[in-house]
Structure 1
Amino acid sequence: MNSQDGMHAFRGFLVHEDIQSWAAYSRSLRGKSQAEIYRQWSQRYGPVFQVSLGNTTVVVINSAAAAKNLLIGQSAAFNSRPEFYVLHKVVSSQVSSIGTSPWDESCKKRRKSSATALNRVRTEGYAPILKLEATEFLKDILEHCENGSIDLDFRQYTRRFALNLSLTLNYGTRIADSKDLTGNPLLAEIIEVEAGISHYRQTARNLSNYIPLLRYVNPVLSKLGFGETPGAAAAMGARRVAYHDVLLRQLKARVDEGTDLPCIQGAVLKDPESAKLTEKELLSISLSMMAGADTSQPSLAWAILFLAHNPEIQQKAFEAIREAGILESKDFGNLRVPYVQALTKELGRYFTVLRLALPKATSGPAKWQNYEIPDNTVVFLNSWACGRDPDEVQDAWSFSPERWLGNSEKHPHQFAFGYGGRMCVASHVSHNALYTVYLHLIAHFQICAVEGETSKAALDPLEALADVEGTAATPRTFRAKFIPRDRAMLQDYILDVVETSRR
């Protein structure tokens, strides 16, 4: 094809010459947010463009309309996942999570089983779990906030909440009475391994995925004292499988004894269809559920910081909770507060923790306008750009929970959990978990910003990133003041919920 507007055809698709080479591409992204750079490029090159990552061709989707056209309108071609060398061939050589597995009969079975355990009816049954974990989070904060007189680093509490939520939802078990995150061997192991897995899952930093030569060079460099020890990635994957295997076997024993608590994996095991699943397929479901901690922790952190810096929105949410009568009835598990629901959705959109959704791979030919997207092409959905698409979201750079309320003319798609046939299977329960903890937090604490950390940059979803190149967008700051609204009432509530959970 002929050159058009500074662009030229590559494998039947458009790629701009400025971003064609791997070296130029790397320089463009170094030290910057990959999702934001793609969003900026889309304003110049269009909502869908192609880049070359080493030897790999990647198509990037950057608008809500393009996502709907491709991922909904041509969904059958976008159901698969690419197999990356580092994650699939090394780290997860034994078993991959549902979310990262290529589309095949096994993946279909696993996704169907997990979807059954995560349908709306089942999800309502997990409400006591969400309530307990939100209450345990409040208990942690209350024990250490000193009535709001100190600047509290809440990092360890959000981390414990995220991990316990994943453990309780998936296995019906939790790490109880652990005052120190490193004091419990299982919790310490999970924290270390999940952080390592998150590193190997990154699309931008693991260059061996795109440059095959590095797969032979890196081991040599390691022996010379440069880079990672050979086998470290495989060992990390084996450690993850080991503790999931222990947790799954313990759950099976409780199911056989009839002493298990409602949980996702328990529902899968009790489903007659689960008899068709192998041990590795069951482990794959567990790996997927645990991966949720990667996003729920930073989601909660962003929410705390936002509320601390925006007292007027925090007060509006508190008034909505009070008007709903929840404080008097203590019915935090069943009542819904529309404004807090809207606040939860807007926090997810505004900060978009997983800014590039899990990569997809075409399992058949697809078409964008007049260009063919070949089979087995890697596809990035830029959720960050889609959530800020002015054609989808009015005044997209402003924070407005009202856009999600019933009187709005149009409700945009949130994109925080992806889009299309392979969007997060646990999106409904994940939303409910965040809603529940936000509801509890706002109802029982006034959250205040730390002195000297109230500038716009402290909360900017781009400027405030701890790691601009990381897969999950995590804030740089983890401090706030937590002032109990009614300490005695909160203590009574915590005691009641904890005691009820032990019966």
Structure 2
Amino acid sequence: MIGNKLHLTSNPLLRDITPSSLILTTLAFALLIVLSYVVLTELYRSKLRIPNIPGPTGLPIVGNLYQLNPDPAETLHQWTKQYGGVYQILLGTMPVVVFGSMQAARDVFIGQGSSLLDKPKLYTFHSVLSSVASSIGTTSWSESTKRRRKTAASAMNRPAVASYLPFIHDLTRDLIKDLSQKGQGGAVAFDPRHSISRTITDLTLTVNYGARLPDDDALLEEIIDVEDGLSRIKTPLGSAQDFIPVLRLLPFNKKTQTAREINRRRLIFLNRFSDEMEARVKAGEDKACIQGNCLKDPDVKLDKIDLLGISMSMVSGGLDTMVNTLAWSIGTFALRPDIQDRAYQSICDVYGSKSWGPIEDENSVPYITALVKECLRTFCVLRLSLPRATWKDVQYGDIFIPKGTTVFLNAWGCNRDEDVFGPDAEVFRPERYLEDPELPHAAYGFGTRMCAGFQLANRQLHVLILRLLWSFKIEPSEDPGESDWQMRPLEDVTEPWHLAAIPPSFKVRFTPRDSDALEAMVAS
């Protein structure tokens, strides 16, 4: 060892190397590697950019990813005004074509729907969280996806939804009763979101599995917490490592660890519900539902993974969209007594003041139909629809989008398109859908892979809003410190990067309009 040391120190090539010079050399080498990575990445990204499609200039490595702050959907909406109804952004190394105008979105997503069948594969969601199965709306196009979507669409079309009306009746009646009891006849103000979450979860589980949600608050809280964690990952912009691959190499990757844990917890309760469903089918004790129909119909060729994917879609869809849409709506109604009064009078004009009417009459009260559409348009809780990928080349005017390109539908921007909704597009005004009942909205997406459950969602919203506004005057809390809130979808959204737009916290009072009539309807 001594001989080796003497030999090294006597080497003229190493004689002048000191610890400080060694550190500087190492740092310089590391800097060279970083600069080389930046240069090579930028050259690669420049080749990925789609020719002849305008868009904002991005930053090195990350592209436009961090320019989307503070509110991605609104930033994309403003870029639509600058770059047009179709433009492109670069998220790290992924080019994305954004559709931000209603006309362009409908022309391509509906007019060329077969070209937008596919879904992009995002690392965190598809490779980590969905290692076993994924929901219908997030799965790449395949024969399995086609079978699942066809089954789900059949189970939630208009005739099928009609068969679920008894469930919807029972659950909305129970919600009205719960709100009345918690509010003590309007004497107590409270946040209704827990009650709404229970009702929507109960309904989706009943439609999917044929059994009500167990009376277990811990189970409900677990489902809500898991689905919230899932939404934070499922959002199209949920993880930087989806677009900047080098981030996946970082040790102690919290995003990856969280995704694995969410997947583990979700499979526990989904497998429980599936096992209980199979047991009821074998015992002949099942009720009509999606899963039971699939298990008993020999023509439905779905395996367990396919059925699991349908279940994921049902549970996630309700908690992502329905709960938040109703929360925004109820908070807005509390601040707009004029809308409540007109809705109540419209209901009474059709059914009288002593009845909320039969549940089968979906469009019997035109103002309620218009009100539901305006709630979906204005609040648009799924602001960036789940991303698509082009299944084949798309030609739209002078714009060419090659096969395999990721595509965003900015539903938030489409629902604020002044070319369609006029200068008051930001205003909550249900009357616009009375003036033009054919006026569209983008809340469910467009085309072949739009939300498969839109018929069920429309019926739920119609019944819930009609019965809520017939039953109660909804008023803001008068307690000190609990009345200082607003319901502006842009300014008051609590987590703009979340998959679903979450309203601010609020407390309201549910005061029965006619206590005797309400008691009679709840008891009926």
Tell me the TM-score normalized by structure 1: 0.89
Q: Is the 8 A contact 1:134 1:437 kept in 2?
A: yes
Q: Deviations over 1:124-154 (max 9, x none)?
A: 1111111111112112211111222232122
Counterpart position of 2:276: 250
User: Which letter does structure 2 place at the counterpart of 1:438?
Assistant: I
Q: How much has 1:321 moved relative to structure 2?
A: 1.1
User: Which letter does structure 1 place at the counterpart of 2:377?
Assistant: R
User: Which letter does structure 2 place at the counterpart of 1:14?
Assistant: I
Q: Is 1:341 matched with 2:369?
A: yes
Which of 2, 12, 16 in structure 1 is aligned with 2:55?
Answer: 16
Counterpart position of 2:428: 399
What is the 5 A alignment of 1:61-76? 61-76=99-114
Q: Deviations over 1:42-88 (max 9, x none)?
A: 11111111111011111100011111221122211101111111111
User: Which letter does structure 2 place at the counterpart of 1:173?
Assistant: A
Structure 2: where are the runs of 5+ without partners? 1-46
Q: Is the 8 A contact 2:473 2:511 kept in 1?
A: yes
Counterpart position of 1:126: 164
Tell me the TM-score normalized by structure 2: 0.85
Which of 189, 194, 216 in structure 1 is aligned with 2:222?
Answer: 189
1: distance between equivalents of 2:63 and 2:393? 29
User: Which letter does structure 1 place at the counterpart of 2:430?
Assistant: P
1: distance between equivalents of 2:414 and 2:56? 24
Q: Is the 8 A contact 2:384 2:409 kept in 1?
A: yes
User: Which letter does structure 2 place at the counterpart of 1:113?
Assistant: T
Q: How much has 1:175 moved relative to structure 2?
A: 2.6
Which of 441, 466, 475 in structure 2 is aligned with 1:448?
Answer: 475
User: Which letter does structure 2 place at the counterpart of 1:416?
Assistant: A
SS where residue 415 of structure 1 aligns? coil
Q: Deviations over 1:4-39 (max 9, x none)?
A: xxxx99322424353465556244222x22111111
1: distance between equivalents of 2:516 and 2:429? 33
Q: Is 1:421 matched with 2:454?
A: no
Counterpart position of 1:309: 335
Q: Deviations over 1:205-262 (max 9, x none)?
A: 3111111111111xx145xxxx45x643123213222321221222233233332223
Q: Is the 8 A contact 2:48 2:93 kept in 1?
A: no
Counterpart position of 2:208: 170
Q: Is the 8 A contact 1:403 1:411 kept in 2?
A: no
SS where residue 74 of structure 2 aligns? helix
SS where residue 153 of structure 1 aligns? coil
How many residue pairs match? The answer is 473
Counterpart position of 1:328: 354
Which of 49, 64, 82 in structure 2 is aligned with 1:25?
Answer: 64
Q: Is the 8 A contact 1:133 1:161 kept in 2?
A: yes
1: distance between equivalents of 2:314 and 2:272? 16
User: Which letter does structure 1 place at the counterpart of 2:246?
Assistant: L
1: distance between equivalents of 2:153 and 2:463? 21
Counterpart position of 1:146: 184
Q: Is the 8 A contact 1:20 1:51 kept in 2?
A: no
1: distance between equivalents of 2:61 and 2:489? 27
Q: Is 1:267 matched with 2:300?
A: no
Counterpart position of 1:204: 237
Q: Is the 8 A contact 2:100 2:410 kept in 1?
A: yes
- In the superposition, relative to structure 1, how do residues 26 and 114 fare at CA in structure 2: closer, same or farther (>3 Å)? closer
Q: Is the 8 A contact 2:180 2:186 kept in 1?
A: no
- In the superposition, relative to structure 1, how do residues 295 and 326 fare at CA in structure 2: closer, same or farther (>3 Å)? farther
Q: How much has 1:409 moved relative to structure 2?
A: 4.5
Q: Deviations over 1:407-457 (max 9, x none)?
A: x356222111111110000001011111111111111110012347777x7
Counterpart position of 2:410: 382
Which of 51, 57, 65 in structure 1 is aligned with 2:89?
Answer: 51
2: distance between equivalents of 1:262 and 1:412? 35
Q: Is the 8 A contact 1:404 1:411 kept in 2?
A: yes
Counterpart position of 1:463: 491
1: distance between equivalents of 2:338 and 2:258? 48
Q: Is 1:117 matched with 2:142?
A: no
User: Which letter does structure 2 place at the counterpart of 1:325?
Assistant: Y
The sequence identity of aligned pairs, in percent, is: 36
- In the superposition, relative to structure 1, how do residues 480 and 409 fare at CA in structure 2: closer, same or farther (>3 Å)? closer
Q: Is the 8 A contact 2:476 2:508 kept in 1?
A: yes
Which of 260, 278, 296 in structure 1 is aligned with 2:322?
Answer: 296
Give the greater-gyration-radius structure (CA): 2
User: Which letter does structure 2 place at the counterpart of 1:422?
Assistant: R
Runs of 4 or more consecutive aligned structure 1 residues displaced over 6 Å after TM superposition: 452-455
Counterpart position of 1:370: 398
Q: How much has 1:400 moved relative to structure 2?
A: 2.3
- In the superposition, relative to structure 1, how do residues 338 and 264 fare at CA in structure 2: closer, same or farther (>3 Å)? farther
Q: Is the 8 A contact 1:339 1:401 kept in 2?
A: yes
2: distance between equivalents of 1:199 and 1:482? 32
Q: How much has 1:329 moved relative to structure 2?
A: 4.7
2: distance between equivalents of 1:410 and 1:54? 42
Q: Deviations over 1:85-130 (max 9, x none)?
A: 1111000110011111111111011111111111111111111111
User: Which letter does structure 2 place at the counterpart of 1:322?
Assistant: C
1: distance between equivalents of 2:166 and 2:214? 16
SS where residue 401 of structure 1 aligns? coil
Q: Which moved more, 1:379-388 or 1:135-144?
A: 135-144
Q: Is the 8 A contact 1:35 1:384 kept in 2?
A: yes
User: Which letter does structure 2 place at the counterpart of 1:45?
Assistant: Y
Q: How much has 1:273 moved relative to structure 2?
A: 2.5
SS where residue 142 of structure 1 aligns? helix
Counterpart position of 1:237: 263
Q: Is 1:282 matched with 2:307?
A: yes
Q: Is the 8 A contact 2:62 2:91 kept in 1?
A: no
2: distance between equivalents of 1:157 and 1:22? 45
Counterpart position of 2:32: none
Q: Is the 8 A contact 1:346 1:399 kept in 2?
A: yes
User: Which letter does structure 2 place at the counterpart of 1:417?
Assistant: Y
Pairwise CA RMSD of aligned residues? Answer: 2.2
Q: Is the 8 A contact 1:320 1:337 kept in 2?
A: yes
1: distance between equivalents of 2:276 and 2:401? 46
Q: How much has 1:171 moved relative to structure 2?
A: 1.2
Q: Is the 8 A contact 1:81 1:100 kept in 2?
A: yes
